[in-house]
Structure 1
Amino acid sequence: MTLLRSMTLEIKNNFMYVRRVEKGVNRPADTLRLRSGSCRDFAVLMMDAVRSLGLAARFVSGYIFVPDHDTTLGGGATHAWLQIYLPGAGWVDFDPTNSIVGNRHLIRVAVAWNYDQALPLWGTWHGAMHSFRSLEVDVSVTEGA
């Protein structure tokens, strides 16, 4: 657990978060070389690292909600992190973007072996090209009663 916490903190402290709306995930080697990436890049990097140690890891897509804490990275849109299977504890959430361990404030929507199996919502436009101008989606995660 100490090693996993250290890995999570190392990514948070020494990599630059870049919000990216383009599809796909950077290869872990590219994320290491650039020392920057999106939340999904950081999740895939850490998944690759812990799998090389023989631990089971899976990709998580969802949302992050931290009340009264506006410095949380990856909020207001879909967010990605990973889960690692720890004997005796089960699947434990690790968010290297924000150095969060455990599922507090992480709202899971999809869990998959690889990132490409947990794609965010998508759709198709049927109609004349000039009829479709744009699409904007805003996500607001609020605390329920």
Structure 2
Amino acid sequence: MSGLELGGVRTAVDLLLAGSAVLVIRDHGASDDVLNQGTGKLEPPPPDLRYSGPAGVVPAIAPSGLPAFDTATTPDDDDTTHRLLLPLVAPDDLRSGDLLRVDAVPASSGDPALVGRWFEFTGPPSTSMFAVVRIGWLKPTRGPTLPEGWAP
């Protein structure tokens, strides 16, 4: 008996995410400032780039009233408004507090109002029993103040 073949589903997910782009950073927040050698001033350290690539940001759907499995992941925060669909090639070490900026959405199916918006992870993305995509919960937030000239 052979295992379940998910290649077709993964291909469908790749097509669904085509044309989308997000940027995920880990902001250091109130950590110690670093010396800018060019200006001689103390500045916040640049954020760490965690992921840049295709991903889908979709509205969070209200629970349908059906009981969840004991192992189901749900947002820890009632402020979650969107879900993130990440391909499996994305890093699996994203965590609560990481920040996401929507850079592009598919012209045919995406919401252009999302482009440029920032979201905060409310928990680490997870996979289901049949891993084809990672799902993370997001809530809107203000974007960080990025150092001048910072680019991923």
TM-score by length of 1: 0.26
Larger Rg: 2
The structure richer in helix per residue is 1
TM-score by length of 2: 0.25
The structure richer in strand per residue is 2
